[in-house]
Structure 1
């Protein structure tokens, strides 16, 4: 269980600070304990997340050395691309929901590579793939930027440098 002041990674809201923990009767679920989360990169938003939720799992934000180790262990040759829009959407959603940072980084690399190959022939990614890329980048970029104390806009370049892809 996290405590007030902890910084956590929420699967959709990104990096958040636990502002408080309180018991409430939310959405007719009976009295339950909830984390009141303040997203670090969106000060207008407040998230209530059940402490005991199995669907929404909060994670500890990685430390700098953990991030470097994670990036260096990514298999850049592993493609997660799936032909067929519906199957690809399901596969990509599963990666995002799973929250495995290795897989999310592979997902970003996969979609970026596909985007480059499509641009070479004058085509664009499907809008659904662009959305998934945006979600995946938000998850990784926010956490890494927070832990490394650099701007989110510089994370892609940082990752590419660590992977020796540029």
Structure 2
């Protein structure tokens, strides 16, 4: 169980701070315990979710050591491109929903390389691919920023400074 002031990765929507844990009555007059969450980098909403909700993916954010290890392994991270637009969109969305940073890195690396190749011939990524890449980057940058004690805007330069390209 998480505690008040813990930071967690919540579903595939970013990093949240647990600001309260409270019991409330549900419609059947049963006591239900809830986490009250506030986005770490965008304080304009509050989320309340049952502590024991199996449909909600909530996990501890990565440690600095985990982040540095993931960055070190980025050059070897496999890409997951497929030319079938519909299948690719579904598989990328499913990977995004896993809430796993390693999956977000695969998406970002794949789409970054494809985008770079398309730009070289005067083309762009499809909007759906661009949107998925932005969502994966936002999630990854928020989690890395929290673990590294930097702002999300500093994450990409940090990664580029620390990744070893062979």
TM-score higher than 0.5? yes
Q: How many residues align?
A: 166
List gaps (5 residues or longer) in structure 1.
Answer: none
Any conservation in 1 of the 2:118–2:125 contact (CA below 8 Å)? yes
Any conservation in 1 of the 2:75–2:163 contact (CA below 8 Å)? no
Residue by residue, what CA displacement relative to the aligned partner does 1:86-122 show, whole Å, maximum 9, x if unpaired? 1001110111111221221121111111111111111
CA distance in 2, matches of 1:27, 1:85: 43
Any conservation in 2 of the 1:19–1:37 contact (CA below 8 Å)? yes
Q: CA deviation at 1:27?
A: 8.4
Q: How does 1:98-137 map to 2 (within 5 A)?
A: 98-137=98-137
Residue 151 of structure 2: aligned partner: 151
Counterpart of 1:33 in 2: which secondary structure?
A: strand
Change (3 A) 1:26 1:93: farther
Any conservation in 1 of the 2:75–2:164 contact (CA below 8 Å)? no
RMSD, matched Cα: 2.2
Residue by residue, what CA displacement relative to the aligned partner does 1:6-65 show, whole Å, maximum 9, x if unpaired? 11111233111111112335688x653221001111111111122112222111112212
CA distance in 1, matches of 2:17, 2:110: 31
Q: How does 1:1-166 map to 2 (within 5 A)?
A: 1-24=1-24, 31-76=31-76, 78-165=78-165
